[in-house]
Structure 1
């Protein structure tokens, strides 16, 4: 326990798994936590310290239990025995061999194959935040600089599983599960430059285009410091660092990424755009698509490049089918490369790497069928690594085990010494049978047998009836009731040879396996290049597959300013409709000349919000290079997408729904550009009616009068805003049409010119199952309120409502007894009743009520 406490003191923030014999043990509060998370037994044992709680599990179950601890957001220090207990007298030397945290996990059981596992570092400089992101499992390393909103956007986009920062950072990382405060020494510029140039084996950082990002470099250096602290030293697969330049991608603030549900949904059963667009065949492709969803292109040339490749695969379905069939057989090349570098790869996984490289070579040959330059160029990026994968096949056995200690890892013929030792190991029984037969013939002892035990190894057993025939060169080791056991020099020599063979076989196999890994490490960059090219092919052929399956078309992307969508559909909602039901498509036309702002009115549940979202999703899909759900689309490049849809209180920060709404809207108005697309839904509804109308009017007016002329869809309940089109030429009124019947309404979900005069909220309440008397009362109140709109008269009407109508509201229930009582009271002339008659009448009413 003294040894345990000394090690634990070095890692106070981590749960310490302490190896004792065949078990990993936890003590004290660590034991309490692990027993709850892992559902293992918590016991108490007097051990001379305060940490008498104890919980543990077998060491071979580490890969079962460790992921559960990490997924719970814990940092886990693995403390192993550093010496062979058989060779040591007293306490075995122990030390932490790995510190596993949510951000630096390498175990397959912790990682999701379809998404990256990013560790994020944040440094607050004098003028900006420095940000760095690393997925240690794939080697992807990114850095950026920006203000607080940039930090928020990166967290929303990349969903880091852990963030490290220093005390001076004022940002609140409430959205990140695991946070760690790193000492200031790790956030030093000179230290960061030294660490990065040493890792990449370069003289400076100019080749990566980040030399001017001082704060970003500091954050990247802090990540490398954290890797050292967590004992991750083998990181040759981190071969470069990329600048995350937001100027290259469509700006979407955190609210927009959340509101549009691009890659995740706040609702437990919500379906995201990623769910609809992801039919990728490889883990690398799935992760790349995830990235593209939040880093949408705004470079016209790059978009057209992607579109041309998608178009090729769309039109050449036979090539696409062949490619996707090959892709589906690949394993995760990126993460296998990471495992090679960190020494975490198993023999079975190494064989899978060789098989995947062989498949990649056959994928490369598909390029010969294409005459499209963009397609050929992409296939050309797949490296021909035939010598390497042949080396893997020639070294490893056909079916290597998951663990090298299981043996039979290296193929026969690779090492003559290994083959000889295996011959000794596997021919041992034959040797012993031959020796037994020879000794029987030499001595004349017919019942002689050779056996083995753990006390003194191999021995010859002779029954007492034959012990007088035992040769003088045999050495007696044990006397039994009916027999005696002997050893010979030849037997002991053979024992040494056969028992040493197993240990030597393991050592030789292990060394040959390490040599193979070292050779593969020299080819990590071409392997990663191949993985990247395959990921691109996977995503773009996936877009073609989705386009064919969901009837998408190729949009026309231009450098103009018009946005024209013909019969557009919501890509997510249309896939969720009941079988046989068709999604109602809509046209949207926005331009800075005569239709910059569309004011959309219409009832609740009519589809206003869906129309807003589908417009943004179609634009983003198009600029990703994907085809879109429409019959035609012409999209002038959009550089920023802003949404103010939905409402949610931020109570933990003391912000009401209205405050959240105003914060988000202020962010929009302060950051608009001439290529912005703005989606506003029910602005101002979080405050009083006239306040809300005033705010919504002022916002719409600001957007119309702005020199930027951003394209805007403005959905509202405030029918008063329809008046704006009379004085502002670029605002046009539309409504989502409905069909009224006598008692109800039918939502047609079609956008038509003109404003709507009613919101039909009471009809929606009725459809939602509101009690009938509440709906009836609402209709009465509505009729009274609609008679006037001035404040003075409204006050009078409210008083009238309270005095007259509310007095009878008790009887407006769907109950025949109460209704009959109501009729009786209404038909009674109380002016002619005597006091006794009034009491009798009251008694009759009580009897009707069962009182």
Structure 2
């Protein structure tokens, strides 16, 4: 004997199919959940947890939501990274023998959401699939809501696959379980998905049915496997036609500029670092698109800048035309504003969930196409003319909808009111019969009022009781009892029917029921007919989106006085009066200070930038990268003149942050970024490193910084921007032919400092760190103490530096070979050896190791020589080796002050 009722047994069997998804089990007007699903859903959705009898003594946990509001609840679960299996009744309850048959009709996952409001109208929602075969990785990324499918292969380096995955920021990642585990460990906190799903089932028949064989033959084995896995997963979860996925958009990685996740984050291309929002990003600035599909295409262009010069020039040519043609640009914008999201409309039509309003939106959009086409063709731009000529206005499709669908259809497709009069003869006849019947009822109401004398008598209708005559209790005595049959009693009235009313009701309801059925069938025929035109509509959507992005570039460029860049295959990068586009747009009360940049193979391919933190070094380096990216996506750039070479990769190391998820310190994260740069950068790359060498001791930091700069300069030869507080590195300009020192100009006036934000040649002399601390509001006690310690340190450093210069210029008699060996040593010893007289100041030499200090031989001792003797004795007695740097600094400062006083 089963311990559960037949309905609960049915639920459990279907739940086994749903596996880890919440099962929305349809019961009447509700979706119900039971057992663990109910407990977890009640917590996540904040709904009431109840229970019901299920055949056992204990009550089964249960919760439910109304079916008409299920989408909002599903969206909340999907946002949290869950799956939802929707189980519907697939049998008429009136015809069921026993429990009504139910089936899972769809499984909604983060990567298969079709609702544009849930994922964002101007953002793609990608489901990505990864595979590994024959020493390569395959990646397929599909947006189910638009039908777009992008496919590529990478080399055996997992980092390349990670870079490509981050381009799409998929909501869900599926693939071979072992590969997913490897990616999860490799990407740590950078895995841009809500859900990882292991999937290994493929079906070649499904793949062959989805795409023509000639298209599949052009795809490599690893890419074919990725597409096969993805199509199999979609077929298993969606359980319906995927006819809108019509094309495999295959591309090679080298067709686009490569940027790793850190670079995308640091440059804030599509979202800001702190708030993770679009506002404040490059996408936010450039997005003046008029359509949702244009907004999505703009995001993809920013994520994947071109490396093909000819394609870049085509975009720039169109932007140039619109930039200089205000009237054409505004006309195009106005027409595009009337175009709905064609891609997602087509997706819903093909998917089978488009309603009458979607079809009307498609019709209204297609009305605008002839105007858009004419504007593009007459613009004077070869690129826009080509786009215009490729636009299919789909006049026949528009006419199909115009002929059949009313201008203001209802939301539901099962309640009638969809089809225009005159479209279907039988439907028109039933409508006439229904209209006549309702007119007859209105006439009957008038006659009954006259017959009974009851002015408040009325004839009404509801779905439960049908048509009825309602009379208030106070007027019941006036009714002729022989004709009126009581049907329902209310608190203050009675409802009746008459033989005539019952007869007419049957005719009216039969006509209305038939009308609804006929309208639904007609609508489905029209929708299926439109689904057969998916390729035409998708191609049209792509051209409209491209025209929209180009006008967006022109609109932004004209608003901010951008200029057309000269894109070349040469090495030199030259920017005159360059500006950071986003910072300039955000500044309202002050103007942005422009700066020049010139980087040539033999002059300035490495720029070493020194100066204070608040002077604008990071902004300057970012703006160089931004200008390169904007040029390669086809946009005008914020500069008076810009000659930009094709950049294959951009690397950035900006900002200090621990990788808590990966268990790495700030310094280790920086070193790992540097390792990536040195391993992957080419001569065509752009490398940006902010504050190289921080996070460790000063000596080691300086050593690493110099070694990295030399490696990038000598071994790779890439364009490199390096900012640092190690002013000592400025000497590299003397030994590295391609390195040039630059700094941010600063104006000092007493104790006040003004950062001029202007890049100038030469090295900075100080970082103004204590001044920045004062601006930040640190207590005066700390500021004063910091200045005191700084003065001590600079005094000692000056003494040691002067001593080194003196020792280098004057050899001690009788020991030339020994002195030369000391000077030529790779690592000078840290403590003084020789004490010499130079006026009233005692100078120390860095050459020597402290154990070989010798007093001068003369017996006649001057006051300075006597002071030097004491200095030597005290230095020999001091345990400098075991002192901290600060202790050593203070010791030397106090010793110098004491000896100077004695010398007086």
Equivalent residue for 2:705? 696
Q: Does 1:287 align with 2:296?
A: yes
| Superposition map of 1:131-170 within 5 A | 131-146=139-154, 147-169=157-179, 170=182
| 1:226 to partner: Cα distance | 0.9
Q: Distance in 2 between matches of 1:318 and 1:618?
A: 27
- Partner of 1:279, secondary structure, is coil
Equivalent residue for 1:731? 739
Cα 1:450/1:518, change in 2 over 3 Å: closer
Q: Distance in 2 between matches of 1:436 and 1:705?
A: 99
Query: What is the TM-score of this pair, normalised by structure 1?
Result: 0.87
Q: Does 1:686 align with 2:685?
A: no
Say which of 231, 244, 247 aligns to 2:251: 244
Cα 1:802/1:390, change in 2 over 3 Å: same
| 1:224 to partner: Cα distance | 0.7
Cα 1:467/1:772, change in 2 over 3 Å: closer
Tell me, yes or no, if the aligned pair for 2:174 and 2:199 is still in contact at 8 Å: no
Tell me, yes or no, if the aligned pair for 2:266 and 2:273 is still in contact at 8 Å: no
Q: Does 1:555 align with 2:571?
A: no
Tell me, yes or no, if the aligned pair for 1:349 and 1:402 is still in contact at 8 Å: no
| Superposition map of 1:105-124 within 5 A | 105-124=113-132
RMSD in angstroms over aligned alpha carbons?
Answer: 3.0
Equivalent residue for 1:15? 22
Equivalent residue for 1:199? 210
Cα 1:603/1:95, change in 2 over 3 Å: same
Q: What do residues 795-844 of structure 1 show as CA deviations (whole Å, max 9, x unaligned)?
A: 487336779999xxxxxxxxxxxxxxxxxxxxxxxxxxxxxxxxxxxxxx
Equivalent residue for 1:522? 532
Q: Distance in 2 between matches of 1:530 and 1:248?
A: 24
Cα 1:428/1:302, change in 2 over 3 Å: same
Cα 1:743/1:435, change in 2 over 3 Å: closer
Equivalent residue for 1:228? 235
Query: What is the TM-score of this pair, normalised by structure 2?
Result: 0.82
Q: Distance in 1 between matches of 2:699 and 2:545?
A: 53
Tell me, yes or no, if the aligned pair for 2:610 and 2:743 is still in contact at 8 Å: yes
Q: Which region of structure 1 is more displaced relative to structure 2, 784-793 or 58-67?
A: 784-793
Cα 1:181/1:435, change in 2 over 3 Å: closer
Equivalent residue for 1:778? 786
Say which of 112, 115, 123 aligns to 1:104: 112
Equivalent residue for 1:55? 63
| Superposition map of 1:470-489 within 5 A | 488=499
| 1:103 to partner: Cα distance | 0.2
Equivalent residue for 2:260? 253
Q: Distance in 1 between matches of 2:481 and 2:44?
A: 67
Tell me, yes or no, if the aligned pair for 1:133 and 1:142 is still in contact at 8 Å: yes
Q: Does 1:602 align with 2:611?
A: yes
Q: Distance in 1 between matches of 2:760 and 2:494?
A: 106
- Partner of 1:224, secondary structure, is helix
| 1:315 to partner: Cα distance | 1.0
Q: Does 1:534 align with 2:541?
A: no
Q: What do residues 236-262 of structure 1 show as CA deviations (whole Å, max 9, x unaligned)?
A: 111101113111111222221121111
Q: What do residues 173-202 of structure 1 show as CA deviations (whole Å, max 9, x unaligned)?
A: 65234334334333xxxx35x433311243
Tell me, yes or no, if the aligned pair for 1:599 and 1:733 is still in contact at 8 Å: yes
Q: What do residues 38-65 of structure 1 show as CA deviations (whole Å, max 9, x unaligned)?
A: 3322234443467833222211111222
- Partner of 2:106, secondary structure, is strand
Q: Does 1:353 align with 2:362?
A: yes
Tell me, yes or no, if the aligned pair for 1:197 and 1:204 is still in contact at 8 Å: no
| 1:784 to partner: Cα distance | 2.0
Aligned residues: 787
Q: Distance in 2 between matches of 1:483 and 1:118?
A: 60
5+ residue gaps in structure 2? 1-7, 801-828, 833-879, 895-904
Equivalent residue for 1:824? none
| Superposition map of 1:52-91 within 5 A | 52-88=60-96, 90-91=98-99
| 1:128 to partner: Cα distance | 1.9
Q: Does 1:277 align with 2:286?
A: yes
| 1:280 to partner: Cα distance | 0.7
Q: What do residues 626-669 of structure 1 show as CA deviations (whole Å, max 9, x unaligned)?
A: 00111111112222212122222112222211111111111111
| 1:710 to partner: Cα distance | 1.2
Equivalent residue for 1:429? 438
Say which of 646, 667, 674 aligns to 2:676: 667
Q: What do residues 382-408 of structure 1 show as CA deviations (whole Å, max 9, x unaligned)?
A: 102112101101101121111113321
| Superposition map of 1:573-592 within 5 A | 573-577=583-587, 579-592=588-601
Cα 1:200/1:183, change in 2 over 3 Å: closer
Equivalent residue for 1:749? 757
Tell me, yes or no, if the aligned pair for 1:445 and 1:469 is still in contact at 8 Å: no
Q: Distance in 1 between matches of 2:657 and 2:892?
A: 38
5+ residue gaps in structure 1? 807-851
| 1:574 to partner: Cα distance | 1.1
Equivalent residue for 2:31? 24
Q: Which region of structure 1 is more displaced relative to structure 2, 693-702 or 29-38?
A: 29-38
| 1:761 to partner: Cα distance | 1.1
Tell me, yes or no, if the aligned pair for 1:554 and 1:628 is still in contact at 8 Å: yes
- Partner of 1:635, secondary structure, is strand
- Partner of 1:406, secondary structure, is coil
Equivalent residue for 1:816? none
Equivalent residue for 1:565? 575
Equivalent residue for 1:185? 201
Tell me, yes or no, if the aligned pair for 1:781 and 1:801 is still in contact at 8 Å: no
Equivalent residue for 2:183? 171
Cα 1:460/1:749, change in 2 over 3 Å: closer
Cα 1:371/1:345, change in 2 over 3 Å: same
| 1:137 to partner: Cα distance | 0.4
Say which of 628, 644, 660 aligns to 1:635: 644
Tell me, yes or no, if the aligned pair for 1:785 and 1:797 is still in contact at 8 Å: no
- Partner of 1:47, secondary structure, is coil
Cα 1:445/1:667, change in 2 over 3 Å: closer
Cα 1:734/1:515, change in 2 over 3 Å: same
Q: Distance in 1 between matches of 2:488 and 2:542?
A: 71
Tell me, yes or no, if the aligned pair for 2:438 and 2:508 is still in contact at 8 Å: no
Cα 1:199/1:84, change in 2 over 3 Å: same
Q: Distance in 1 between matches of 2:447 and 2:769?
A: 103
Q: Does 1:264 align with 2:271?
A: yes
Equivalent residue for 1:611? 620
Equivalent residue for 1:128? 136
| 1:360 to partner: Cα distance | 1.5
| 1:203 to partner: Cα distance | 5.0
Equivalent residue for 1:216? 223
Cα 1:293/1:75, change in 2 over 3 Å: same
Q: Which region of structure 1 is more displaced relative to structure 2, 80-89 or 406-415?
A: 80-89
Equivalent residue for 1:817? none
| 1:451 to partner: Cα distance | 7.8
Q: Which region of structure 1 is more displaced relative to structure 2, 376-385 or 283-292?
A: 376-385
Q: Distance in 2 between matches of 1:516 and 1:398?
A: 15
| 1:204 to partner: Cα distance | 5.3
Q: Which region of structure 1 is more displaced relative to structure 2, 224-233 or 303-312?
A: 224-233
Tell me, yes or no, if the aligned pair for 1:458 and 1:487 is still in contact at 8 Å: no
Q: Distance in 1 between matches of 2:444 and 2:704?
A: 102
Q: Distance in 2 between matches of 1:735 and 1:486?
A: 95
Cα 1:450/1:733, change in 2 over 3 Å: closer
Tell me, yes or no, if the aligned pair for 1:77 and 1:100 is still in contact at 8 Å: yes
| 1:370 to partner: Cα distance | 2.5
Cα 1:467/1:624, change in 2 over 3 Å: closer
Q: What do residues 398-455 of structure 1 show as CA deviations (whole Å, max 9, x unaligned)?
A: 21111113321100111111112122223223324667899999xx999999887888
Q: Distance in 2 between matches of 1:469 and 1:12?
A: 63
Q: What do residues 590-644 of structure 1 show as CA deviations (whole Å, max 9, x unaligned)?
A: 0102222111111111111111100000011011110011111111222221212
| Superposition map of 1:376-415 within 5 A | 376-415=385-424
